[in-house]
């Protein structure tokens, strides 16, 4: 089988980390399959994929398309897309030519822009698998475009049951299967190199006995950096805790993410200057996880899945997650992690405090979390589910979605 994966971004956000494990696990389980990756931007993902034996082609997105994000249906939001139409059309045409040359048996797309481009550019009869990582209904433009293109999609993978439900509500005719992500549990293991987070952040070394709590996330505003900062500011100080913000603004889309300077200013205001460590983006995230005592997930909106939750768990760490969405499919509260109501900094502070002062609770949660990762989040499990889905998709008849379902733009998002 020859599979072509299409991904907009070359940097490692959640959807790219998910793709990395897909490539690694399918490669390991089906060594004779030919895997190709077409990227809309160069970046670390290209090198990682090549190292896995995947053939990588970089076809940079035109600038307007790369920067476009879905922040509503106002003229200001839609204009960048409208102005990018000629360049995007040329891009789609070139992509169609490339796909004809590659002659894939199946195309697997990651990210909205590639879902749409894949639907336009795929050779007829080649099955198209959309991998949906986010709640589509919260993105008005993306919803409308997906609805228009859904007939081209053979089957959609959702990264959680929660995202699958959202997608089924929006596109009732589409076949949707929920497949949880996986991680490399050898790499994300409790034993291994630990990074010096203080040095990385340019802070003086913390006193012995200081508990390190870190939020590992891209700088998207809904990832809850402010909630984390407010929670840190509320800690009583009975046990010394140092907070770290790990990650950076990685997407080109405007408006939806913090800049480093902005977030640093917020941290100074909320917690006091120099109190919170900013490491920047770190590629070796297992070494970050291992350096933390508490891994915090604080998204203020339901998290579609939450890669960092399983990464922290696989490293045997005590994780505090924000309740809701896919995160609630992973966390068994009080057993393999703790949870707090999304956006509630007082509750988050309470859980950080509780864990900071109880080493045996941290250990117990961490052990249960590691066991859960070994049981549920391995590449073997992921490859088994994907290979079955690919084989079914290749043998499936052309999509049987009722055309009427997608006939009207106006019906979208209702
Ligand atoms: C997106 C989602 C995140 C998920 C990741 C991988 O980034 O927002 O929740 O973990 O995709 O599926």
Q: Is 15 in the pocket of ligand 1 (CB under 6 A)?
A: yes
For residue 237, the CA-to-ligand 1 centroid distance in Å is: 33
**pLDDT tens sequence across 113-162:** 999 999 999 999 999 999 999 999 988 888 999 999 999 999 999 999 99
Is residue 349 assigned to a domain?
yes
Is residue 352 assigned to a domain?
yes
Q: Is 270 in the pocket of ligand 1 (CB under 6 A)?
A: no
pLDDT at 414: 29
Is residue 13 assigned to a domain?
yes
pLDDT at 76: 64
Going by pLDDT thresholds of 50, 70 and 90, the confidence category of residue 68 is: low
Q: Is 247 in the pocket of ligand 1 (CB under 6 A)?
A: no
Q: Is 13 in the pocket of ligand 1 (CB under 6 A)?
A: yes
Based on the fold, state whether residues 242 and 362 are members of the same structural domain.
yes
For residue 17, the CA-to-ligand 1 centroid distance in Å is: 9
- The closest of 292, 297, 272, 274 to 282, measured between CA atoms, is 292
Of ligand 1's listed atoms, the one at least distance from the Cα of 299 is 9
Q: Is 181 in the pocket of ligand 1 (CB under 6 A)?
A: yes
Q: Which residue has the tokens 């896995």?
A: 52
- Between vectors from CA 311 to CA 308 and to CA 314, what angle results, nearest 5°? 150
Pocket test for ligand 1, best of 109, 114, 159, 311 (most atoms within 8 A of CB): 159
Based on the fold, state whether residues 204 and 335 are members of the same structural domain.
yes
Is residue 319 assigned to a domain?
yes
Q: Calculate the average pLDDT of the chain.
A: 91
For residue 353, the CA-to-ligand 1 centroid distance in Å is: 28
Based on the fold, state whether residues 133 and 236 are members of the same structural domain.
no
User: Three-state DSSP class for 115?
Assistant: helix
Distance, CA of 204 to chain centre: 32
**pLDDT tens sequence across 346-403:** 999 999 999 999 999 999 999 999 999 999 999 999 999 999 999 999 986 544 433 3
Q: Give the CA dihedral 60, 249, 116, 20, nearest 10 degrees.
A: 80
Based on the fold, state whether residues 356 and 389 are members of the same structural domain.
no
Q: Is 134 in the pocket of ligand 1 (CB under 6 A)?
A: yes
How far apart CA 148 and CA 407 sit, in angstroms, is 7
Whole-angstrom CA distances from 333 to 160, 175, 318, 339 are 18, 31, 11, 6
User: How does DSSP assign 367-408, residue by residue?
Assistant: HHHHHHHHHHS-HHHHHHHHHHHHHHHHHSPSP---GGGGS-
Q: Is 307 in the pocket of ligand 1 (CB under 6 A)?
A: yes
Pocket test for ligand 1, best of 304, 308, 328, 377 (most atoms within 8 A of CB): 304
**pLDDT tens sequence across 24-59:** 999 999 999 999 999 999 999 999 999 999 999 999
Structure token pair of residue 190:
């409790």
Based on the fold, state whether residues 158 and 88 are members of the same structural domain.
yes
Q: Is 162 in the pocket of ligand 1 (CB under 6 A)?
A: no
Going by pLDDT thresholds of 50, 70 and 90, the confidence category of residue 85 is: confident
Of ligand 1's listed atoms, the one at least distance from the Cα of 304 is 9
Based on the fold, state whether residues 353 and 388 are members of the same structural domain.
no
Supply the range of the domain harboring residue 6: 2-182+378-413
Based on the fold, state whether residues 264 and 322 are members of the same structural domain.
yes
Number of domain units in the chain = 2
For residue 21, the CA-to-ligand 1 centroid distance in Å is: 13
Based on the fold, state whether residues 134 and 203 are members of the same structural domain.
no
Is residue 47 assigned to a domain?
yes
b/e string for 104-141 if b means 16 or more Cβ within 10 A?
A: bebbbbbbbbbbbbbbebbeeebbbbbbbbbbbbebbb
For residue 379, the CA-to-ligand 1 centroid distance in Å is: 17
Based on the fold, state whether residues 247 and 388 are members of the same structural domain.
no
pLDDT mean over 79-98: 87
Based on the fold, state whether residues 68 and 121 are members of the same structural domain.
yes
Q: Is 305 in the pocket of ligand 1 (CB under 6 A)?
A: yes
User: 38 with 136: CB under 8 angstroms?
Assistant: no
Pocket test for ligand 1, best of 306, 310, 325, 386 (most atoms within 8 A of CB): 306
Of ligand 1's listed atoms, the one at least distance from the Cα of 308 is 10
Is residue 289 assigned to a domain?
yes
pLDDT mean over 64-85: 66
**The sheet that has 276-280: what strands, in order across it?**
276-280, 241-246, 211-216, 294-296, 318-322, 338-340
For residue 15, the CA-to-ligand 1 centroid distance in Å is: 5
Q: Is 306 in the pocket of ligand 1 (CB under 6 A)?
A: yes
Helix (H) / strand (E) element for 37: namely strand 34-39
Is residue 192 assigned to a domain?
no
Is residue 191 assigned to a domain?
no
Of ligand 1's listed atoms, the one at least distance from the Cα of 133 is 11
Based on the fold, state whether residues 331 and 307 are members of the same structural domain.
yes
Based on the fold, state whether residues 77 and 133 are members of the same structural domain.
yes
CATH number at residue 236: 3.40.50.2000
Nearest CA to ligand 1 atom 10: 306
Whether 343 shows a pLDDT value over 60: the answer reads yes
């Amino acid at each position: 089988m020859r599979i072509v994966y299409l991904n907009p971004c070359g940097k490692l956000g959640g959807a790219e980390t998910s793709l990395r494990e897909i490539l690694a696990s399918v490669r390991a389980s089906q060594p004779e399959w030919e895997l190709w990756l077409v990227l809309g931007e160069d970046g670390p993902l290209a090198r990682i994929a090549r190292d896995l034996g995947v053939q990588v082609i970089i076809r940079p997105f035109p600038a307007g398309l790369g920067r476009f994000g879905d922040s509503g249906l106002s003229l200001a939001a839609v204009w960048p897309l409208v102005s990018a139409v000629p360049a995007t059309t040329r891009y789609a045409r070139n992509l169609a030519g490339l796909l004809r040359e590659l002659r894939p048996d199946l195309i697997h797309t990651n990210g909205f822009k590639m879902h749409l481009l894949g639907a336009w550019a795929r050779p007829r009869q080649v099955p198209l698998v959309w991998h949906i990582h986010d709640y589509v209904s919260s993105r008005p433009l993306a919803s409308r475009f997906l609805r228009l293109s859904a007939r081209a999609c053979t089957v959609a993978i959702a990264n959680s049951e929660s995202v699958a439900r959202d997608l089924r509500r929006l596109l009732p005719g589409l076949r949707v299967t929920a497949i949880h992500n996986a991680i490399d549990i050898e790499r994300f293991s409790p034993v291994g190199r630990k990074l010096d987070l203080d040095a990385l952040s340019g802070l003086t070394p913390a006193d012995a006995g200081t508990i390190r709590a870190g939020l590992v996330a891209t700088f998207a505003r809904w990832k809850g950096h402010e909630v984390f900062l407010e929670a840190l500011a509320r800690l009583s100080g009975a046990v010394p805790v140092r907070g770290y913000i790990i990650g950076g603004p990685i997407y080109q889309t405007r408006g939806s993410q913090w800049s480093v300077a902005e977030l640093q200013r917020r941290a100074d205001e909320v917690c006091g200057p120099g109190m919170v460590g900013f490491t920047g983006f770190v590629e070796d995230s297992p070494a970050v996880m291992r350096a933390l005592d508490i891994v915090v997930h604080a998204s203020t909106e339901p998290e579609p899945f939450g890669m960092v939750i399983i990464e922290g768990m696989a490293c045997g760490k005590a994780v505090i997650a924000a309740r809701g969405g896919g995160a609630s499919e992973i966390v068994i509260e009080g057993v393999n992690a703790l949870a707090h109501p999304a956006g509630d900094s007082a509750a988050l502070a309470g859980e950080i405090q509780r864990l900071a002062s109880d080493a045996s609770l941290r250990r117990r949660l961490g052990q249960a979390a590691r066991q859960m990762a070994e049981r549920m989040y391995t590449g073997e499990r992921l490859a088994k589910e994907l290979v079955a889905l690919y084989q079914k998709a290749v043998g499936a008849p052309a999509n049987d979605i009722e055309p009427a379902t997608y006939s009207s733009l106006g019906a979208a998002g209702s």
